[in-house]
Structure 1
């Protein structure tokens, strides 16, 4: 029997950043390669990608990357992987085109072109495994699950999915194929858990279409629709409703333009009116009641763009009286505070807010009944809940137990955990490095916890800079300490605090100048320690303290 390992490098105990490694003998299959957007305390970070250390150590074994769908949480980190490892990439037509956009927009991978288009009927034979695919329903066309057939049984990865009996042909689940895979025998199922806590009936896309139509049809003013750029299904509904209500559509942001053009070219998105779209420079020609602005924001996140519109900092759009801002995304619980803040800003600017989830439960991920149906169709021996924070993985584990899977066969994994078949059963046999890699501008992984800590302190308590010039030869201070502060205290009203701080610095400097062995590092650290203690006693704040010690140049005689 083949040696089989399963290693989640991301997408467990977190939202997004899906990447799962299945190793069969000496071949590695990478399932998705996604990113996630930063959390509130990751100040200045653009995105978070997986740690590829395990893949780098085993790069000669990698057979390919297999993508389930075209959202950033599944394909967003692909350029950073391909920059380090040259491996083929497999996916459906739309998924591959969106992956190409990501890869070509990254300077270090723009020449990569080892892409392979598959469909739900494709089977790819490797040494000890055969890879096949099955259609699933999600908010983007061409979504698939992935089955890896081994001599031990199928290892099935669902990708993001839900079940919608009224889905159109582009989004329909292939139930017959799911049943066939289950009959073949499923050794392990890796299944989407994002909505595992909800037992609410998810609205069908037909119901959502009617809701969008009704919202846009009766509003007597300008409409701004906030939507994730890669949610093709929602964009289609908005375009259809705009055409029906005789509104022109302005697309804002490079992301949505590229994605929409690609989807139209591949006939995954239809435009009901060839004159539907307008340019920014044409916007002034139309009455506000004839306009619909589709805003996706940078990297598919529209909320920050809505905040800029509300505070008059957006490049072209300002929220005004009688504007309707229609939020058609369903933010995660972690984003609830941001959503509330955004709504407040919109109302202050004179607009009105409506969210698509006001009247119905909307999600691209299956509820509890959907998840149990998938489990019953697959009938896996072992179950690994994925895609979600710990609480939803645990909720999914309980659902699996309800349908008959014993808890000993359910694994709630962490990033980097190695599951391996030993002595006839799946076991946790170790772990590998799988830290978060932070992307800040062009920097990849050069921002760590210390930098984030300093950024957080700067944002909360500010910075306290002290500059002093000394002469080591004369063992004296040439220029007395000068203090500058930003975001800590107002200097003009804190003269006593500043004078006391200057005295502390003078004392520390003179003491160090008298030492037999003078050390710049020790001097700076003692200044930080003494000032930090004093400032906290006086203010109960801990600013970043930055000592700047200069030495007077010695003139040659």
Structure 2
């Protein structure tokens, strides 16, 4: 009898950062290693990755990292994992190519080359465990689901998926393989919950292509197409439809160029006409009705680029009257405010906007009927909804119950929860270290709640700096107090406030100089407390107060 544990280090109760562990006896199988692009409240944070503490403590048990597809939510955290843990990485051809690109771009796991290319027919044996794969449909080619076959039954992870009966061969789901897996015992199914709440079914990608052709054909001016760089399916559709509409494509941004280059070299992105792509430098050589500008990026980056275009600040191309901005991906709920702001800026620039989501629901995630079909094909004993906010996981749990899985066999995990199969039953048995690690520039995990709180305060109420030079030997103030404010008040219009603040500081400093038990920390804290009370009374705001006290005797700043 094998002991089977399932642990989520990310991807639950959040959109992104997928990372799931299947632990069989003394072997750990890591399924995906993704990142999450931060929401607005994480001021200055570039990306968020899982906490790898548990894996670092058990790195000798790791059999490998198995990737489902090449999006950042599945491969983006690899550079940070491989920096400290040397383990083999398995994925399909395009997935591995994009994973390598991610690792090399980060510059962290220098020299790592333990990559292994698999396909849907690959089976990898690890002692008592066999890892198999099955082809799925997503917005990027070479997407697969993962099946970890144990003595107790299979643990199946779908990755991001949807069903599309008219998908092209490169994106087609292998229904036969999924059915074969379901014919044997599936102990647990970890399934994508990203669209479990939807009340509308996805349209086929063929319908999307038809809608895109009508848009391209009827537009009289330039078309600026906005999508996520890793959405290879949408980029392929733009290529195909642009050729049909007799337009040329101009690429902007290094992220897009790199992704397109990798996909084209592997034959996963096909250019229907060698002359279709034209350098952005030559855009003025073509009439407006011959031009398609493809603008992409990560997460919200395409919208940020559109905002720069609308303000005339884009490095390569800016919006003008008569342009049509075509947003071809469905934004998340968190991005709705940004989308509305961006559309307003585009209209003010004289261009117009069309959203594909205004006509169709075109998502890379399975709709409720697709989710129920996957459960019916695999027939798991236990069900674990993953990849999505809690409400999405809960909606997915209800769908599973509708197709016959009792609620007692459904687990909605949080990060770090351990779900263990023992003595013929699956139970929630404890937790391991898990959470968010914030990446800011080259800093990994050095930004915590205190720093974020200070950044929030600075962004809301600004900073109030007080500089005083003293002599303890003479018991007097030699210079100051001098006050500098940034983001709090306009100094020239607030002379009374500044003068009164200066008087308060002077009073506090002189009182402390006249005590026998002078203490630097006590002096600074009293300045903060006194100023904070006064400034809040006068402005109802609480700036960050920074006292800088210097002593003239040795010209050494005291901290």
1:368 paired residue number? 368
Question: What is the CA–CA distance in structure 2 between the aligned matches of 1:111 and 1:34, rounded to whole Å?
Answer: 21
Q: Does 1:478 align with 2:448?
A: no
Question: What is the CA–CA distance in structure 2 between the aligned matches of 1:352 and 1:72, rounded to whole Å?
Answer: 30
1:149 paired residue number? 149
Superposed displacement of residue 417, structure 1: 0.8
1:229 paired residue number? 229
Superposed displacement of residue 289, structure 1: 2.0
2:63 paired residue number? 63
2:428 paired residue number? 428
Structure 1 range deviating more: 5-14 or 422-431: 422-431
1:86 paired residue number? 86
Question: What is the CA–CA distance in structure 1 between the aligned matches of 2:554 and 2:139, rounded to whole Å?
Answer: 70
Question: What is the CA–CA distance in structure 2 between the aligned matches of 1:401 and 1:297, rounded to whole Å?
Answer: 38
1:32 paired residue number? 32
1:468 paired residue number? 468
Question: What is the CA–CA distance in structure 1 between the aligned matches of 2:431 and 2:314, rounded to whole Å?
Answer: 46
Superposed displacement of residue 298, structure 1: 5.4
Q: What secondary structure is seen at the aligned counterpart in 1 of 2:430?
A: strand
The CA deviation string for residues 227-272 of structure 1, in whole angstroms up to 9 with x for no partner, is 1101010000111111112221111111111111111111111101
Superposed displacement of residue 310, structure 1: 1.2
RMSD: 1.3
Structure 1 range deviating more: 480-489 or 137-146: 480-489
Structure 1 range deviating more: 17-26 or 422-431: 422-431
2:168 paired residue number? 168
Is the CA contact 1:230–1:300 (under 8 Å) kept in the aligned structure 2?
no
Is the CA contact 1:465–1:545 (under 8 Å) kept in the aligned structure 2?
yes
1:140 paired residue number? 140
1:270 paired residue number? 270
Paired residues for 1:329-344 under 5 Å = 329-344=329-344
1:401 paired residue number? 401
Q: What secondary structure is seen at the aligned counterpart in 2 of 1:354?
A: strand
Superposed displacement of residue 117, structure 1: 0.5
Judged with a 3 Å threshold, the aligned counterparts in structure 2 of structure 1 residues 366 and 389 are, in CA distance, closer, same or farther, namely: same
Q: What secondary structure is seen at the aligned counterpart in 2 of 1:87?
A: coil
Is the CA contact 1:252–1:297 (under 8 Å) kept in the aligned structure 2?
no
Q: What secondary structure is seen at the aligned counterpart in 2 of 1:154?
A: strand
Structure 1 range deviating more: 332-341 or 100-109: 100-109
Is the CA contact 1:227–1:328 (under 8 Å) kept in the aligned structure 2?
yes
1:115 paired residue number? 115
1:382 paired residue number? 382
Superposed displacement of residue 299, structure 1: 6.8
Is the CA contact 1:297–1:304 (under 8 Å) kept in the aligned structure 2?
no
Question: What is the CA–CA distance in structure 2 between the aligned matches of 1:262 and 1:406, rounded to whole Å?
Answer: 45
Question: What is the CA–CA distance in structure 2 between the aligned matches of 1:529 and 1:14, rounded to whole Å?
Answer: 39
1:100 paired residue number? 100
Structure 1 range deviating more: 103-112 or 221-230: 103-112
Is the CA contact 1:34–1:73 (under 8 Å) kept in the aligned structure 2?
yes
Judged with a 3 Å threshold, the aligned counterparts in structure 2 of structure 1 residues 258 and 394 are, in CA distance, closer, same or farther, namely: same
Is the CA contact 1:255–1:300 (under 8 Å) kept in the aligned structure 2?
no
Judged with a 3 Å threshold, the aligned counterparts in structure 2 of structure 1 residues 224 and 81 are, in CA distance, closer, same or farther, namely: same
The CA deviation string for residues 451-505 of structure 1, in whole angstroms up to 9 with x for no partner, is 1111111111111111111112222111121111111111112111111211121
Is the CA contact 1:186–1:381 (under 8 Å) kept in the aligned structure 2?
yes
Question: What is the CA–CA distance in structure 2 between the aligned matches of 1:512 and 1:285, rounded to whole Å?
Answer: 74
Structure 1 range deviating more: 472-481 or 85-94: 472-481
2:500 paired residue number? 500
Question: What is the CA–CA distance in structure 2 between the aligned matches of 1:252 and 1:519, rounded to whole Å?
Answer: 58
Question: What is the CA–CA distance in structure 1 between the aligned matches of 2:217 and 2:48, rounded to whole Å?
Answer: 39
Superposed displacement of residue 401, structure 1: 1.0
Is the CA contact 1:230–1:259 (under 8 Å) kept in the aligned structure 2?
yes
1:261 paired residue number? 261
Structure 1 range deviating more: 217-226 or 447-456: 447-456
Is the CA contact 2:300–2:335 (under 8 Å) kept in the aligned structure 1?
no
1:282 paired residue number? 282
Question: What is the CA–CA distance in structure 1 between the aligned matches of 2:152 and 2:298, rounded to whole Å?
Answer: 44
Superposed displacement of residue 128, structure 1: 2.1
Question: What is the CA–CA distance in structure 2 between the aligned matches of 1:173 and 1:295, rounded to whole Å?
Answer: 29
1:312 paired residue number? 312
Is the CA contact 1:228–1:296 (under 8 Å) kept in the aligned structure 2?
yes
Structure 1 range deviating more: 64-73 or 277-286: 277-286
The CA deviation string for residues 71-118 of structure 1, in whole angstroms up to 9 with x for no partner, is 000000001100010000000011011111111112222321110000
Question: What is the CA–CA distance in structure 1 between the aligned matches of 2:404 and 2:511, rounded to whole Å?
Answer: 73
Structure 1 range deviating more: 388-397 or 430-439: 430-439
Question: What is the CA–CA distance in structure 2 between the aligned matches of 1:444 and 1:257, rounded to whole Å?
Answer: 27
Is the CA contact 1:133–1:146 (under 8 Å) kept in the aligned structure 2?
yes
Which 5+ residue runs of structure 2 have no aligned equivalent? none
Question: What is the CA–CA distance in structure 1 between the aligned matches of 2:149 and 2:127, rounded to whole Å?
Answer: 11
Superposed displacement of residue 513, structure 1: 2.0
Q: What is the number of residues matched between the two proteins?
A: 555
Judged with a 3 Å threshold, the aligned counterparts in structure 2 of structure 1 residues 554 and 270 are, in CA distance, closer, same or farther, namely: closer
Is the CA contact 1:305–1:314 (under 8 Å) kept in the aligned structure 2?
yes
1:246 paired residue number? 246
2:4 paired residue number? 4
Q: TM-score, normalised by structure 1?
A: 0.98
Is the CA contact 2:252–2:316 (under 8 Å) kept in the aligned structure 1?
no
Superposed displacement of residue 421, structure 1: 1.7
Which 5+ residue runs of structure 1 have no aligned equivalent? none
Structure 1 range deviating more: 523-532 or 334-343: 523-532
